[in-house]
Structure 1
Amino acid sequence: MKGKVCVFGSFNLDITAILDRFPMPGESLVAKSSKISAGGKGANQATAALRAGANVHYIGKIGEDDFGCFARRHLKKVGFNAVTILSSSERATGNALIYVAGENAENMISVDPGTNMIVTKEEIEKCEPAIKCADVVLVQLENNLSAITQVLAIAKENNAFTILNPAPFQKIDSELLSKVDLLTPSETETFLLTGQKITDKASAEHAADCLHQKGARKIIITMGAKGSLLSEPCSKIWIPCFPANPIDTTGAGDAFNGALAAQIANGNSIKQAAIFGSAFAAVSVEYIGAACTTTYEQAIERMSLLSDISTN
């Protein structure tokens, strides 16, 4: 039986340009290639969770515009077990402009969140049945905080395991953290949440302790090629980064979070889920675009490259 993951989060239409380097202010550069694709942290993570082996219900909001038509076609094509599409004519569908450049395929992103930021209380109330029946509820910060808080509250009232990926950064308080079972910030988001800059393992562990003091129960700090730190108040475990030949790192964090949620919903420990998520994300950076194309089988194969890691 597949575990049930409910993902509430953003949909964006992504316009990606591949460059040799990032342009300087005022400079125009000729791109090596470009692509229009589906994105948004919510849709990306929901897709990753589906491909990583979960039963997924995605909830998101789009505009009544051309980008919204693209979103409907894409979400239908993905093959989610269920989709709840909220819509509005007040704002445009969310969209993002993405530059990917250099040998390490680093990215710069500008996002217009559009309808993602105007989800209403009444709309979330209509989604309660989907949230209530989930084993894991996964959210990010690319929607209005009032809606995110409402989703997490419903999830906790119904004993779902809750994951918050605090990206893109918004200020969050201890009340919101109290509804979160697992917080998954990047190095940058950890710095913005704590004021602690991460330069090595010791500083990462110190930053994690600061987050525990703010109310976070369990934390995974993702640090790209350096791996990630799984921290609980009484233990800390380092999760390795798996080998990869990066082409586009845009969706790596989303791939990790979606795969993580799927594995937890399927009954694996957080450590097991994090190791699988790391392998899943390593495969994802070898493809262009933020929308996940990685498969469960590819992640398992990638895990075998570091077979000495204990997953117990």
Structure 2
Amino acid sequence: MSTLLVIGSANADHVLTFNELPKAGQTLISQQYRFELGGKGANQAVAAARLSNTQQKVSLISALGDDSNAAIMRKSWAADGIDLNGCYEFKDHSTGTAMIFVNQHGENSIGVVPGANALLSVMHIQQQQNLFTQANYMLIQLETPLDSVREALSLAKQHGCTTILNPAPAATLSHDILCLIDIITPNETEAFALTGIEVIDQESASKAADYLHDQGVNIVIITLGSKGAYFSEKGQGQHIPTPVVSAIDTVAAGDTFNGALMVALDDGKSLKNAVEFANKASSITVTRNGAQSSIPYRIELT
């Protein structure tokens, strides 16, 4: 059996929908409120678990509070078959929380309170070395402390595990982190934060990818929303379009892409086919409301 390791945040999402997103100083009445399970790490673990084959096992390292939200999360993740032995629970702390505003076009604005996510330390990562020794791929994001992200990338490399960083939320990263990354998956905003290059077309995407290659990253995949994704390996790039759909909610689209990408690569798919698989999965996610509730199952992609 192949093990896929996801490390990252878990959030209780409070979602409000509007015709248009509120502007600074503006108060709008929401059309709908929903409670959802989210957080980039948890979303990506759920995507990987739902899209995996019968020979793949997904493990999650995450940090939760000791509240009712944590219990709801554990029950939901277990139902998706995720190994939760790496999930910590911190007493007297709340589980991470996100406030999400979504407009009629499926666009969103998100504010996050880290809660227990901020407590996932280097020590906690080191305590889970057995998961690194078993894993073929490790997927991580930037909603947990950067020192812990660096330690996870380093441990994964030591154990011969292919590392995937989804650099979200957008941040500038130093060379000592970038050189530990095998595959990086920024969107346009995140690519600009990493490289200083504004991605507006294939030529600028290629320049941003070349910058990251020079920093030691083997494979760069820049997600472009409804325009698909641009991937580059060893300086050879290609744009892959995404299926045309009517998007209603883009929350968790990028997370679905990342979880699907890891599954497909571990399946033995070529990079091009893996990106196509990930595009297809995320194109389903945007046609549904919610975070983890919107993520498709493998059978839906056949």
Identify the TM-score tier after normalising by the shorter chain: over 0.9
Residue 99 in structure 1 maps to residue 101 in structure 2: yes
What amino acid maps onto 2:77 in structure 1? Answer: L
Residue 117 in structure 1 maps to residue 118 in structure 2: yes
Between 158-167 and 21-30, the greater mean CA deviation after superposition:
21-30
Going from structure 1 to structure 2, the CA distance change for 1:285 and 1:277 (only over 3 Å counts) comes to: same
Distance in 2 of aligned mates of 1:213 and 1:85: 35
**1:139-176 Cα distance to aligned partner (Å, 9 max, x none):** 00111011111111111111111100000123321111
Fraction of identical pairs, as percent: 35
**Secondary structure at the residue paired with 2:176?**
helix
CA contact (8 A) 1:140 1:166 kept: yes
Distance in 2 of aligned mates of 1:45 and 1:63: 20
Distance in 2 of aligned mates of 1:100 and 1:186: 19
Distance in 1 of aligned mates of 2:173 and 2:85: 27
- After TM superposition, the structure 1 = structure 2 runs for residues 37-52 of structure 1, keeping only pairs within 5 Å, are 37-52=36-51
- Which stretches in structure 2 are left out of the alignment for 5+ residues? none
- After TM superposition, the structure 1 = structure 2 runs for residues 58-77 of structure 1, keeping only pairs within 5 Å, are 58-77=60-79
**1:21-42 Cα distance to aligned partner (Å, 9 max, x none):** 1123333322221210110000
1:82 Cα deviation from its structure 2 partner: 4.4
Q: 2:233 aligns to what?
A: 232
1:290 Cα deviation from its structure 2 partner: 1.4
**1:231-286 Cα distance to aligned partner (Å, 9 max, x none):** 12331111111121211101100000000011111222222111100000001111
TM-score normalised by L of structure 1: 0.91
**Secondary structure at the residue paired with 2:135?**
coil
Q: 1:297 aligns to what?
A: 299
Q: 1:84 aligns to what?
A: 86
CA contact (8 A) 2:100 2:111 kept: yes
Number of residue pairs matched by the alignment? 298
Q: 1:149 aligns to what?
A: 150
CA contact (8 A) 2:210 2:235 kept: no
Q: 1:15 aligns to what?
A: 14
Between 161-170 and 249-258, the greater mean CA deviation after superposition:
161-170
**1:208-252 Cα distance to aligned partner (Å, 9 max, x none):** 112222222210000111111111233111111112121110110
- After TM superposition, the structure 1 = structure 2 runs for residues 119-198 of structure 1, keeping only pairs within 5 Å, are 119-198=120-199
Distance in 2 of aligned mates of 1:16 and 1:228: 27
1:129 Cα deviation from its structure 2 partner: 0.5
**Secondary structure at the residue paired with 1:135?**
strand
CA contact (8 A) 2:213 2:235 kept: no
Distance in 1 of aligned mates of 2:163 and 2:249: 28
Distance in 1 of aligned mates of 2:134 and 2:163: 13
CA contact (8 A) 2:120 2:148 kept: yes
What amino acid maps onto 1:74 in structure 2? Answer: S
Between 289-298 and 197-206, the greater mean CA deviation after superposition:
289-298
CA contact (8 A) 1:7 1:56 kept: yes
TM-score normalised by L of structure 2: 0.94
What amino acid maps onto 1:244 in structure 2? Answer: V
Q: 1:273 aligns to what?
A: 274
Runs of 4+ in 1 over 6 A off after TM superposition: none
CA contact (8 A) 1:62 1:86 kept: yes
1:117 Cα deviation from its structure 2 partner: 1.7
- Which stretches in structure 1 are left out of the alignment for 5+ residues? 301-312
1:73 Cα deviation from its structure 2 partner: 3.0
What amino acid maps onto 1:299 in structure 2? Answer: L
**1:80-137 Cα distance to aligned partner (Å, 9 max, x none):** 14442212236421110001102x2100000111211221232112211112101111
Distance in 2 of aligned mates of 1:122 and 1:194: 31
What amino acid maps onto 2:194 in structure 1? Answer: L
